[in-house]
Amino acid sequence: MTWSDRLAPSLDDFAALAKQVLDALPANFRARSGRVAGQVAVRVEDFPSEAMLDDQGIEDPFALTGLYQNADPAVLLFRRPILDEWAERGDVSLGDLISQVLVEELGGDARVIGAASPIEGLLGLKAPSSAYFAEIANQTHTGLPPAIRSAVGETRVIVEDFANEALLASLDIEDPFELTGVYEGVDLTQRSVLDLVPMPSTIRLFRRPILDEWFDSDTGIASLIEHVFVHEVAHHFGYSDADIERAEG
């Protein structure tokens, strides 16, 4: 299963995924946890409430991925913290991560996950990688209208998880999640015909902030990467998005 232009998993997607995960766990574990008898419900929310965080002595809402509640009984899954961990780790499928949270909250051993049935589809997907980001960015550069692509020239794409502290400081940005991309090079308007052949321009894309934006948007991941790339080209080479759209027409 490929990314194509997939939307970020929604609350409803998570609920469906959790059901698939639970059904794939060994029957003896499900019986022991009360799942077979239908005694344990699974609910999905974006973040834990402030009261939940206070009860757990946790300040950062991203630090809590799941919570078992005896009163219901129910397991709460928190979509954004799980997606954040999924993006950070990069080497774990969404299904395995949801399994880990559910099994831990139901009081099971992590080895139970290895005994589960194979998972496919969305459950089996790992977070979009840096290589995927670079592939989409390079395709976007190739697909620019000829006049604009000629003006932009050769462009090198570098994908990093976050901007470094020096770059953030130079842009007066404190939160690294606020910077999704940056252009490095000489602006088109500042180049001279007398200049030596310039080094390729560099556009840096920052994977984690882009994924963070994707999680809360209704935009496909490929379209979002394209948007960030085009924005950097437009901003630093004197073209607006409307200019590019008109040239494409």
CATH number at residue 216: 3.30.2010.20
Report yes or no on 45 lying in a domain.
yes
Domain boundary among 69, 95, 124: 124
Domain boundary among 124, 158, 180: 124
Look up the pTM and report it.
Answer: 0.85
The answer to whether residues 73 and 149 belong to one domain is: no
21: confidence class by pLDDT, cuts 50, 70, 90: confident
The answer to whether residues 239 and 136 belong to one domain is: yes
- pLDDT value for 246: 62
- Please count the structural domains in the chain: 2
For 36-69, write each residue's pLDDT tens digit. Answer: 556 778 899 999 999 999 999 999 999 999 998 8
Exposure letters 138-177 (e unless 16+ CB within 10 A, then b): eebbeebbeebbeebeebebebeeebeeebbeeeeeeebe
Beta-strand ranges (E) seen in 185-247 are 201-206
The answer to whether residues 115 and 159 belong to one domain is: no
- pLDDT value for 150: 75
Question: Judging by beta carbons within 10 Å of its beta carbon (0-12, 13-18, 19+), is residue 231 exposed, middle or buried?
Answer: middle
Between 38 and 231, the more confident residue is 231
Report yes or no on 1 lying in a domain.
no
The answer to whether residues 151 and 229 belong to one domain is: yes
Q: Which domain holds residue 62?
A: 11-124
The answer to whether residues 104 and 146 belong to one domain is: no
Q: What is the mean pLDDT of residues 228-249?
A: 71
Report yes or no on 6 lying in a domain.
no
Report yes or no on 2 lying in a domain.
no
Strand order in the sheet with 41-45: 41-45, 74-78, 66-69
Report yes or no on 108 lying in a domain.
yes
Q: What is the mean pLDDT of residues 125-147?
A: 89
Report yes or no on 116 lying in a domain.
yes
